[in-house]
Amino acid sequence: MRFPWKSSTKSQQQILADAPVQQTAKRVSLRSFVLWLGPALMVSIAYMDPGNYGTDIAAGAAFKYDLLWAAWFAGGMAMLLQYLSGKLGIASGYSLPELVRMSLVKHRYVVPYWLAAEAAVAATDLAEYLGTVLGLNLLFGVPLLYASIFGALDVILLLAMMGKRFRLIEQYFAMLISVLVFGILYNLVVVKPDLTQVAYHSVVPIASSNAALLIVVGIIGATVMPHALFVHSWLSKNKMDLLGRKINGGNLGSSVTDSMKPTANHHAHSTREIERTRKFHLKETVLALTIASVVNAGILLVAIPLYPNPNVTVSDFVHGIGLIFGSAIAVIFILTLLASGLSSSALGTIAGQVIMEGLIGKHWNVWARRIVTRVINVFPTTFAILLGLDPLSLLVYSQVILSLMIPLPMIPLVYYTSKRKFMADFVNRRITLVLAIVTVALIMAFNSFLLYTIFVP
């Protein structure tokens, strides 16, 4: 005769016995995830760089809440593509530049591809450098000409860290991103946007005029940065290699036996380990890019009190919110701009080194590389200031270059992650492939429209 209540009691006892094990597993998983944090966090700064400040401020000051949806939409597209980039490095064991080099059998195409990628890095660095220059000018009152010189010295700080543990660089990014995020959140608390309007315009797409559509194109079309797609694959695959045998006495929590199983990839990581790392990568990418989207939406919302002002500049914005809400909010906003310029500039340096080594297989002294890149950008900026031109006008030309270069990493990225010979069991699912193709098509369409509006009166 069976006694159901005894069976139930035994089951409860077993659950109680398993509870400490489950809690320990959760703690191990949380610890593993915290140790993994870094790659997507570093890459997220590309979506909070000074170039985003201009479009977000213009959107809020000219159209109030109407274009808020564009910031969330842009963040979603960036989230998908950055996830694919990191997954490529984790599953294949190669960075995107390395795979491109191996795929270009006719090596005469490698150098032109590399030069184009370097042009994208230089154009990106120009926007980041201008953010540092404006930050120094607005915060300390340093004349633009001197700020353009002092702003170039951030190279010393970064290069001093490059010889240390990479974890130090990750902590440097975390510190600057914290300044940026908490600064924008403080601004939002002071401005107090209408939450009902925020909720409505976050999900209802509105672009009431050609001018509004152009700003939407600026927010969405130039959202994905070429260097971010290149570097994320490298950051993820190297972080996996570094942590492979340091977390939980094994490979990100996998057993020793499991870790020895061969895979279809060139690195010695098991399928179970790759899957566990992919999940960490997915969680971090969603978290980091959500934070970036919140920052971009926050900048737009903070600019709304200046409405209507369709031609507002960053300087006008800072002075305007200072007059309305007091000097504290203006100073904190400038600090976020400065943190954005310094952190995104550091990412550009790392990306440039990854692109060079991956595409042409040569390691150039990082000091020489950084100095040359910075001199290239200091020259046109200083020249423009001497001529009395607005340095921000250079952003237009940098965005044109980025628009032309975006297909360079995007198309190969979707191709590689959709091929089993590179990804093995981690090839893109059909729904992921469809979403990726639609995202690439939208971004290229937006950028084509941006180029059309620039060159066709």
Model confidence at 308: pLDDT above 60: yes
Backbone phi and psi for residue 190, each to the nearest 5 degrees, phi listed first: -70, -45
Q: What is the distance between the alpha carbons of residues 452 and 454, in angstroms, rounded to a whole number?
A: 5
Query: What are the structural domain ranges in the chain?
Result: 38-455
User: Could you report the per-residue pLDDT of 371-413, keeping only the tens digit for each?
Assistant: 666 666 566 666 666 666 665 566 656 666 777 788 899 999 9
Helices (H), 64-143: 68-92, 96-103, 110-140
Q: What is the phi-psi region of residue 184: left when phi exceeds 0, alpha when psi lies from -120 to 50, beta otherwise?
A: alpha
User: Could you report the per-residue pLDDT of 64-102, keeping only the tens digit for each?
Assistant: 999 999 999 999 999 999 999 999 999 999 999 999 999
The whole-number average pLDDT for the span 250-274 is 52
C-alpha angle 414-419-420 in degrees, rounded to nearest 5: 145
Q: Does domain 38-455 have CATH number 1.20.1740.10?
A: yes
Model confidence at 144: pLDDT above 50: yes
Which residues partner with 250 through β-bridges?
Answer: 247
Dihedral of alpha carbons 107, 109, 115, 117, sign: negative
> Residue with structure tokens 């600090």?
335
290-313: burial string, b at 16+ Cβ within 10 Å, e else:
ebbbbbbbbbbbbbbbbeebeebb
In three-state secondary structure terms, 207 is coil
Instruction: Tell me the pTM.
Output: 0.85
Tell me, what amino acid is at 424?
A
- Cβ pair 217, 74 in contact under 8 A: no
User: Could you report the per-residue pLDDT of 33-74, keeping only the tens digit for each?
Assistant: 888 888 999 999 988 888 788 888 889 998 999 999 999 999
- Cβ pair 212, 60 in contact under 8 A: no
- Closest to 81 in 3D by CA, of 292, 250, 263: 292
DSSP string, 391-408: TTHHHHHHHHHHHHHTHH
Instruction: Locate 423 and state its tokens.
Output: 């990804």
Q: Which residues contact 114 (CB under 8 A, 6 or more apart)?
A: 355, 356, 359, 360
Model confidence at 358: pLDDT above 80: yes
% pLDDT > 70, the chain: 75
- Cβ pair 377, 123 in contact under 8 A: no
Model confidence at 193: pLDDT above 90: yes
Instruction: Locate 24 and state its tokens.
Output: 């320990």
- Closest to 61 in 3D by CA, of 350, 308, 366: 308
Model confidence at 4: pLDDT above 60: no
User: Could you report the per-residue pLDDT of 6-18, keeping only the tens digit for each?
Assistant: 444 444 445 444 5
Q: What is the distance between the alpha carbons of residues 345 and 343, in angstroms, rounded to a whole number?
A: 5
pLDDT grade for 183, boundaries at 50, 70 and 90: very high
Per-state percent for the chain, helix, strand, coil, to nearest 5: 80, 0, 20
